[in-house]
Amino acid sequence: LVQNKLNYAVLQCIEGAGHEFKHETQMMLIKAAQFGKSFLPECDPEPYVRMCRILRVLNAVRDSKVGLPITYEQLQYLSLQSLLDLLMNRRQYYLAIQVAKYLQVPSSSSILSHWAHYKMQQSQLDHAQVAREIAAKLGRTAGVSYTEIAKKAADQGRTQLAIKLLDYEPRATLQVPLLLHLGQDMVALVKAIESGNTDLVYTVFLHLKENVQLAKFQLDIRKYPLGQSLYLKYCKEHNTRELRDVFTQEDDHESLAACFIHESYDPRNNGLHQAASLVAAQDSFKKARNDFHAGLCEKQLKLLKYQKTLEEKFNRDFVNKSLHDTMKMLLCMAQVKLAEGLRSEYKVPDRRYWWLRIQCLGETEEWVELDKFSKMKKSPIGYEPFVDICLKYKNIHEAQRYMSRVRDDQKVKYFVKLGMMDEARQTAMEQKDLDLLLYVQAKGGDSPETASLIASMSSGRK
């Protein structure tokens, strides 16, 4: 009789069950819908399943212990979220969470947060106890922010509770700023250090410098070695005056001296400040009983003073040049006596001075002077550098002048460098060195005589 209207009848039974308050009538209509559904092969089960879930929720909130006699039509108008809000207002938090889970509504975090705010209002309970209970209930629930709950506690005047709650906040970027706002400066510093976020640590430093006396801050930071290291790094980059204060407090004269030396080479400082910094560095090294470095500072002061004299005399930039560069400038300017004076004053080794003199004569292409210099006395670095400097500036003829004084074990290689293959081959044959003969042959100095000698020496080795 109802075959053509069976689907409509099933939907009407489902809809009717939603409008009933009696459990028995609801059950009868739901069973009737279930029975009719079995004769509909293409019937959508969603309305049936959804109504069963909604009826279970409505029956739960209509219970006398809850006291929400809400109808199906009212629920449709208010929405499920409003129902959860009503339950939270009645402090039915457990039921609200179960309803949210059952109907798959993502509201668990807001319900737990609402419960936490209610829990904070119980002023008769100890701060630590309330914080523990809240943390035990909330755990690591996604969407729950202990920082937001702590802010509410602070707004209600429960500062200590807010501090206890922040211990459970896993995100230091949220935790530290609120701790600073609550006046827990050193706790914030510890949390920032533990997080490993240097930017966060520097944020705490800036806050402390603005709100705490510098001397007290520097004393407090000493209790935290990692924080002290980060503070020193910050001072090196942004405030060397505070860095000196820290080293002075620690009686770290070595580091204080290094700080003064670094300042002496700051391009923003003038000559007077540079000299004063070097004097201060020398005094600090003396206090540290480091006579060697104190002596180096004294020598640098002498060099700086001498460089200023040279600047005034020659109108060239000498100040802040190294000893090597100062001597090189003087040699290139043909001021050999002044360079010799520096060499003697600072005990420059002969080998280093000869290298420098050869380079300068080559750069200025003073070949006659280079020849004179080579004959002054026996070269402590050999005569190969003389050949090299001539080759560097493409003066082959001048380079050949020094070949007679090149060491025997280097002559073949230097003849090859000069392109004198016959002389290279002849020297290698005279020395009867198979490796040198092979080297000459590889560089293009082959000849029948060379090949025969190589074959003979190779067979002799076998």
Co-location of 368 and 400 in the same domain: yes
Q: Whole domain around residue 263: which residue ranges?
A: 251-315
Per-residue confidence band for 356, with pLDDT thresholds at 50, 70 and 90: very high
Per-residue confidence band for 360, with pLDDT thresholds at 50, 70 and 90: very high
Half-sphere exposure of 136 (CA within 13 A, CB side): 7
Among 205-219, 261-275, 340-354, which is the least confidently predicted range?
A: 261-275
DSSP state, 169? -
Co-location of 76 and 18 in the same domain: yes
Residues 176-204, mean pLDDT to the nearest whole number:
83
Q: How much helix, strand and coil, in percent to the nearest 5, is found in the chain?
A: 75, 0, 25
Residues 129-137, mean pLDDT to the nearest whole number:
74
Global pTM value: 0.54
CA dihedral over 440, 446, 451, 453, signed as positive or negative: negative
Co-location of 2 and 78 in the same domain: yes
DSSP alpha helix (H) spans, 170-290: 172-181, 185-195, 198-211, 214-221, 225-238, 240-249, 253-264, 271-287
C-alpha to C-alpha distance for 451 and 458, rounded to whole angstroms: 10
Residue type, 93: Y
Residue 147 lies in a domain: no
Tell me the Ramachandran region of residue 39: left when phi exceeds 0, alpha when psi lies from -120 to 50, beta otherwise. Answer: alpha
Which tops the pLDDT comparison, 314 or 106?
Answer: 314
Co-location of 11 and 86 in the same domain: yes
Residue 77 lies in a domain: yes
Residues 438-450, mean pLDDT to the nearest whole number:
69
Co-location of 387 and 329 in the same domain: yes
For residue 1, the model assigns a pLDDT of 43
Residue 372 lies in a domain: yes
Residue where one domain finishes, among candidates 105, 131, 155: 105
Co-location of 376 and 414 in the same domain: no
Per-residue pLDDT for 460 more than 60? Answer: no
Co-location of 382 and 414 in the same domain: no
Co-location of 309 and 337 in the same domain: no
Residue 164 lies in a domain: no
Co-location of 82 and 11 in the same domain: yes
C-alpha to C-alpha distance for 173 and 205, rounded to whole angstroms: 15
pLDDT cut 70: percent of the chain above it? 92
Per-residue pLDDT for 234 more than 70? Answer: yes
Per-residue pLDDT for 169 more than 50? Answer: yes
Per the structure, the count of domains in the chain is 4
Residue where one domain finishes, among candidates 105, 123, 141: 105
Co-location of 414 and 402 in the same domain: no
Co-location of 3 and 96 in the same domain: yes
C-alpha to C-alpha distance for 112 and 115, rounded to whole angstroms: 5
Residue 325 lies in a domain: yes
Most confident of 72-81, 111-120, 263-272, 365-374: 365-374
Residue where one domain finishes, among candidates 46, 79, 105: 105
pLDDT tens across 63-98, in order?
Answer: 878 888 888 888 788 887 787 788 877 887 777 777
Residue 163 lies in a domain: no
Report whether 87 contacts 68 (CB < 8 A): yes
For residue 51, the model assigns a pLDDT of 85
Per-residue pLDDT for 11 more than 50? Answer: yes
Co-location of 14 and 84 in the same domain: yes
Residue 190 lies in a domain: no
Residue 394 lies in a domain: yes
